[in-house]
Amino acid sequence: MEQRHNLKIMGSSQAGGGVYDKVSIMGDGSVHGDVDCRQFSCAGTAHLEGSVKTGVMKIRGTSQVSGSVNVNKLSIQGQVEIRGSMRAAEASIGGMANIGCHLQGERLRLKGSVTVQGDCEFESITANGSLQVEGLLNAGSLDLRLQWPCQAREIGGDTIKIRRGSGLGNLLGFLPGLFNIVPDARMNADLIEGDYVELEHTTARVVRGNDVVIGPGCEIGQIEYRRQLHRHPDSTVHHVIQL
Protein backbone atom coordinates (compact mmCIF):
# COMPACT_ATOMS: atom_id res chain seq x y z
CA MET A 1 0.00 0.00 0.00
CA GLU A 2 1.30 3.42 -0.97
CA GLN A 3 2.64 5.42 1.97
CA ARG A 4 1.59 9.05 1.81
CA HIS A 5 2.95 11.77 4.05
CA ASN A 6 1.40 15.08 5.02
CA LEU A 7 2.61 18.45 3.78
CA LYS A 8 2.03 21.42 6.07
CA ILE A 9 3.09 24.97 5.20
CA MET A 10 2.77 27.64 7.89
CA GLY A 11 3.71 31.28 7.61
CA SER A 12 5.62 32.28 4.48
CA SER A 13 7.25 29.20 2.98
CA GLN A 14 7.44 26.95 -0.08
CA ALA A 15 7.65 23.26 -0.93
CA GLY A 16 7.86 20.91 -3.88
CA GLY A 17 5.01 19.03 -5.47
CA GLY A 18 4.50 15.30 -5.13
CA VAL A 19 2.17 12.63 -3.76
CA TYR A 20 0.77 13.41 -0.30
CA ASP A 21 -1.99 12.41 2.09
CA LYS A 22 -2.99 15.87 3.34
CA VAL A 23 -1.71 19.22 2.10
CA SER A 24 -2.37 22.16 4.44
CA ILE A 25 -1.37 25.77 3.83
CA MET A 26 -1.81 28.35 6.58
CA GLY A 27 -0.33 31.73 5.78
CA ASP A 28 1.41 32.46 2.47
CA GLY A 29 2.60 29.24 0.86
CA SER A 30 3.92 28.19 -2.55
CA VAL A 31 4.10 24.70 -4.02
CA HIS A 32 6.25 24.07 -7.10
CA GLY A 33 5.16 21.07 -9.15
CA ASP A 34 2.05 18.91 -9.54
CA VAL A 35 0.24 17.78 -6.39
CA ASP A 36 -1.62 14.48 -5.91
CA CYS A 37 -3.23 14.27 -2.48
CA ARG A 38 -6.28 12.98 -0.66
CA GLN A 39 -7.10 16.33 0.94
CA PHE A 40 -6.02 19.90 0.19
CA SER A 41 -6.82 22.86 2.43
CA CYS A 42 -5.79 26.50 2.38
CA ALA A 43 -6.44 29.16 5.01
CA GLY A 44 -4.57 32.17 3.70
CA THR A 45 -2.80 32.52 0.36
CA ALA A 46 -1.64 29.63 -1.82
CA HIS A 47 0.37 29.67 -5.06
CA LEU A 48 0.56 26.34 -6.87
CA GLU A 49 2.86 26.07 -9.88
CA GLY A 50 1.37 22.95 -11.43
CA SER A 51 -1.83 20.89 -11.44
CA VAL A 52 -3.76 19.47 -8.50
CA LYS A 53 -5.54 16.12 -8.14
CA THR A 54 -7.32 15.60 -4.83
CA GLY A 55 -10.34 14.05 -3.18
CA VAL A 56 -11.35 17.07 -1.08
CA MET A 57 -10.33 20.69 -1.63
CA LYS A 58 -11.19 23.44 0.87
CA ILE A 59 -10.19 27.03 0.18
CA ARG A 60 -10.61 29.76 2.80
CA GLY A 61 -8.73 32.73 1.42
CA THR A 62 -6.95 33.18 -1.91
CA SER A 63 -5.48 30.48 -4.14
CA GLN A 64 -3.90 30.46 -7.58
CA VAL A 65 -3.21 27.32 -9.62
CA SER A 66 -1.15 27.55 -12.80
CA GLY A 67 -2.38 24.19 -14.13
CA SER A 68 -5.65 22.24 -13.92
CA VAL A 69 -7.62 20.90 -10.95
CA ASN A 70 -9.38 17.54 -10.62
CA VAL A 71 -11.32 17.17 -7.37
CA ASN A 72 -14.22 15.11 -6.03
CA LYS A 73 -15.54 17.62 -3.48
CA LEU A 74 -14.72 21.33 -3.70
CA SER A 75 -15.51 24.10 -1.20
CA ILE A 76 -14.43 27.70 -1.80
CA GLN A 77 -14.92 30.65 0.52
CA GLY A 78 -12.76 33.36 -0.95
CA GLN A 79 -11.08 33.93 -4.30
CA VAL A 80 -9.57 31.32 -6.62
CA GLU A 81 -7.87 31.50 -10.01
CA ILE A 82 -7.37 28.30 -12.03
CA ARG A 83 -5.42 28.95 -15.22
CA GLY A 84 -6.24 25.54 -16.66
CA SER A 85 -9.49 23.55 -16.50
CA MET A 86 -11.32 22.34 -13.42
CA ARG A 87 -13.34 19.18 -12.94
CA ALA A 88 -15.26 18.95 -9.65
CA ALA A 89 -17.84 16.25 -8.98
CA GLU A 90 -19.41 18.44 -6.28
CA ALA A 91 -18.57 22.14 -6.14
CA SER A 92 -19.69 24.74 -3.62
CA ILE A 93 -18.40 28.22 -4.37
CA GLY A 94 -19.00 31.14 -2.05
CA GLY A 95 -16.89 33.97 -3.37
CA MET A 96 -15.15 34.41 -6.71
CA ALA A 97 -13.60 31.88 -9.08
CA ASN A 98 -11.86 32.49 -12.40
CA ILE A 99 -11.35 29.42 -14.60
CA GLY A 100 -8.93 29.81 -17.51
CA CYS A 101 -10.33 26.93 -19.60
CA HIS A 102 -13.30 24.64 -18.91
CA LEU A 103 -15.34 23.96 -15.76
CA GLN A 104 -17.29 20.70 -15.47
CA GLY A 105 -18.71 18.27 -12.96
CA GLU A 106 -21.91 16.88 -11.47
CA ARG A 107 -23.30 19.53 -9.11
CA LEU A 108 -22.47 23.21 -8.72
CA ARG A 109 -23.79 25.47 -5.97
CA LEU A 110 -22.78 29.09 -6.34
CA LYS A 111 -23.19 32.13 -4.11
CA GLY A 112 -20.89 34.65 -5.67
CA SER A 113 -19.23 35.00 -9.05
CA VAL A 114 -17.69 32.52 -11.50
CA THR A 115 -15.93 33.41 -14.75
CA VAL A 116 -15.17 30.60 -17.21
CA GLN A 117 -13.09 31.25 -20.31
CA GLY A 118 -14.28 28.00 -21.95
CA ASP A 119 -17.38 25.83 -21.42
CA CYS A 120 -19.24 25.23 -18.15
CA GLU A 121 -21.02 21.86 -17.92
CA PHE A 122 -22.77 20.28 -14.91
CA GLU A 123 -25.70 17.95 -14.34
CA SER A 124 -27.14 20.48 -11.87
CA ILE A 125 -26.39 24.17 -11.32
CA THR A 126 -27.94 26.25 -8.55
CA ALA A 127 -26.54 29.76 -8.64
CA ASN A 128 -27.19 33.02 -6.81
CA GLY A 129 -24.88 35.68 -8.19
CA SER A 130 -23.01 36.01 -11.47
CA LEU A 131 -21.98 33.54 -14.18
CA GLN A 132 -19.71 34.70 -17.01
CA VAL A 133 -19.15 31.90 -19.53
CA GLU A 134 -17.32 32.56 -22.79
CA GLY A 135 -18.45 29.27 -24.33
CA LEU A 136 -21.36 26.89 -23.69
CA LEU A 137 -23.26 26.86 -20.39
CA ASN A 138 -24.86 23.43 -20.21
CA ALA A 139 -26.79 21.76 -17.37
CA GLY A 140 -29.49 19.17 -17.00
CA SER A 141 -31.04 21.54 -14.46
CA LEU A 142 -30.09 25.24 -14.31
CA ASP A 143 -31.57 27.51 -11.64
CA LEU A 144 -29.91 30.93 -11.77
CA ARG A 145 -30.82 33.90 -9.61
CA LEU A 146 -29.38 37.01 -11.23
CA GLN A 147 -27.49 39.31 -8.87
CA TRP A 148 -25.04 40.84 -11.35
CA PRO A 149 -24.56 40.89 -15.15
CA CYS A 150 -24.31 37.35 -16.55
CA GLN A 151 -23.45 36.03 -19.98
CA ALA A 152 -22.90 32.88 -22.02
CA ARG A 153 -22.50 32.31 -25.72
CA GLU A 154 -25.06 29.49 -25.62
CA ILE A 155 -27.17 27.97 -22.83
CA GLY A 156 -28.52 24.42 -23.07
CA GLY A 157 -30.26 22.00 -20.74
CA ASP A 158 -33.42 20.14 -19.82
CA THR A 159 -34.83 22.67 -17.33
CA ILE A 160 -33.58 26.26 -17.52
CA LYS A 161 -34.74 28.88 -15.01
CA ILE A 162 -33.13 32.33 -15.05
CA ARG A 163 -34.75 34.84 -12.71
CA ARG A 164 -33.93 38.06 -10.92
CA GLY A 165 -32.55 37.55 -7.42
CA SER A 166 -33.89 39.36 -4.37
CA GLY A 167 -30.57 40.78 -3.14
CA LEU A 168 -26.84 40.77 -3.74
CA GLY A 169 -25.36 37.44 -2.74
CA ASN A 170 -22.32 36.84 -0.58
CA LEU A 171 -19.17 38.60 -1.83
CA LEU A 172 -21.08 40.53 -4.48
CA GLY A 173 -22.50 42.68 -1.72
CA PHE A 174 -19.53 45.06 -1.64
CA LEU A 175 -19.30 45.58 -5.41
CA PRO A 176 -21.98 48.29 -5.84
CA GLY A 177 -19.90 50.60 -3.66
CA LEU A 178 -17.18 50.50 -6.30
CA PHE A 179 -19.46 51.90 -8.99
CA ASN A 180 -21.46 55.11 -9.35
CA ILE A 181 -24.10 53.09 -11.20
CA VAL A 182 -24.87 49.49 -10.30
CA PRO A 183 -24.79 47.32 -13.47
CA ASP A 184 -28.08 45.76 -14.53
CA ALA A 185 -28.50 42.20 -13.26
CA ARG A 186 -29.45 40.39 -16.45
CA MET A 187 -28.42 37.48 -18.65
CA ASN A 188 -27.05 37.97 -22.17
CA ALA A 189 -26.85 34.97 -24.53
CA ASP A 190 -26.96 34.27 -28.23
CA LEU A 191 -28.97 31.02 -27.97
CA ILE A 192 -30.96 29.50 -25.08
CA GLU A 193 -32.38 26.02 -25.70
CA GLY A 194 -34.06 23.56 -23.36
CA ASP A 195 -37.10 21.39 -22.76
CA TYR A 196 -38.55 23.88 -20.25
CA VAL A 197 -37.27 27.46 -20.41
CA GLU A 198 -38.27 30.20 -17.94
CA LEU A 199 -36.59 33.59 -18.28
CA GLU A 200 -36.56 37.00 -16.60
CA HIS A 201 -34.37 40.00 -17.41
CA THR A 202 -32.68 38.18 -20.28
CA THR A 203 -31.45 39.35 -23.67
CA ALA A 204 -31.17 36.58 -26.28
CA ARG A 205 -31.16 36.29 -30.05
CA VAL A 206 -32.98 32.93 -30.08
CA VAL A 207 -34.91 31.05 -27.38
CA ARG A 208 -35.99 27.50 -28.25
CA GLY A 209 -37.92 24.97 -26.18
CA ASN A 210 -40.97 22.77 -25.75
CA ASP A 211 -42.47 25.02 -23.06
CA VAL A 212 -41.29 28.62 -22.84
CA VAL A 213 -42.14 31.21 -20.18
CA ILE A 214 -40.94 34.76 -20.82
CA GLY A 215 -41.12 36.88 -17.68
CA PRO A 216 -40.50 40.61 -17.17
CA GLY A 217 -37.52 42.53 -18.49
CA CYS A 218 -36.69 40.28 -21.46
CA GLU A 219 -35.53 41.28 -24.96
CA ILE A 220 -35.83 38.26 -27.28
CA GLY A 221 -35.15 38.24 -31.01
CA GLN A 222 -36.97 35.01 -31.85
CA ILE A 223 -38.83 32.35 -29.87
CA GLU A 224 -39.24 28.84 -31.26
CA TYR A 225 -41.57 26.66 -29.17
CA ARG A 226 -43.40 23.34 -29.54
CA ARG A 227 -46.13 23.15 -26.87
CA GLN A 228 -46.73 26.26 -24.78
CA LEU A 229 -45.61 29.88 -24.74
CA HIS A 230 -46.34 32.47 -22.04
CA ARG A 231 -45.19 36.08 -22.48
CA HIS A 232 -45.07 38.87 -19.91
CA PRO A 233 -46.39 42.21 -21.24
CA ASP A 234 -43.26 44.02 -20.03
CA SER A 235 -40.98 41.93 -22.28
CA THR A 236 -40.18 42.42 -25.97
CA VAL A 237 -40.30 39.51 -28.43
CA HIS A 238 -39.70 40.29 -32.10
CA HIS A 239 -40.60 36.96 -33.75
CA VAL A 240 -42.47 33.83 -32.63
CA ILE A 241 -42.46 30.46 -34.42
CA GLN A 242 -44.39 27.37 -33.29
CA LEU A 243 -42.49 24.28 -34.40
Task: Say what the pLDDT of residue 174 is.
Answer: 44
Residue 213 above 60 pLDDT?
A: yes
95 against 171, higher pLDDT: 95
Q: Where are the domains positioned within the chain?
A: 85-242
Confidence of residue 141 (pLDDT cuts 50, 70, 90): very high
For residues 3-29, average pLDDT: 94
176 in helix, strand or coil? Answer: helix
Task: Say what the pLDDT of residue 160 is.
Answer: 98
Cα 170 from Cα 113, distance rounded (Å): 9
Q: What is the share, in percent, of the chain residues with pLDDT greater than 70?
A: 92
Confidence of residue 170 (pLDDT cuts 50, 70, 90): very low
For residues 181-186, average pLDDT: 70
Q: Is the pTM of this model over 0.95?
A: no
Q: Residue 62: what residue type? A: T
Residue 168 above 70 pLDDT?
A: no
For residues 42-66, average pLDDT: 96
Residue 178 above 60 pLDDT?
A: no
End-to-end C-alpha distance for the chain, whole angstroms: 60
142 against 177, higher pLDDT: 142
Task: Say what the pLDDT of residue 65 is.
Answer: 98
Cα 41 from Cα 22, distance rounded (Å): 8
Stated as kind and residue range, the H or E segment containing 174 is none
CA nearest to 230, candidates 43, 209, 156: 209
Instruction: Quickly count: other Cβ atoms within 10 Å of residue 76's Cβ.
Output: 24
Q: How high does pLDDT run on average in the chain?
A: 92
178 in helix, strand or coil? Answer: helix
Burial 12-49, CB ≥16 within 10 A → b, else e: eeebebeebebbbbbebbbbeebbebbbbbbebbbbbb
67 against 170, higher pLDDT: 67
174 against 54, higher pLDDT: 54
CA nearest to 82, candidates 46, 112, 55: 46
Task: Tell me the per-residue pLDDT of 60-90, one tens digit each, with 9 for 90 and over.
Answer: 999 999 999 999 999 999 999 999 999 999 9
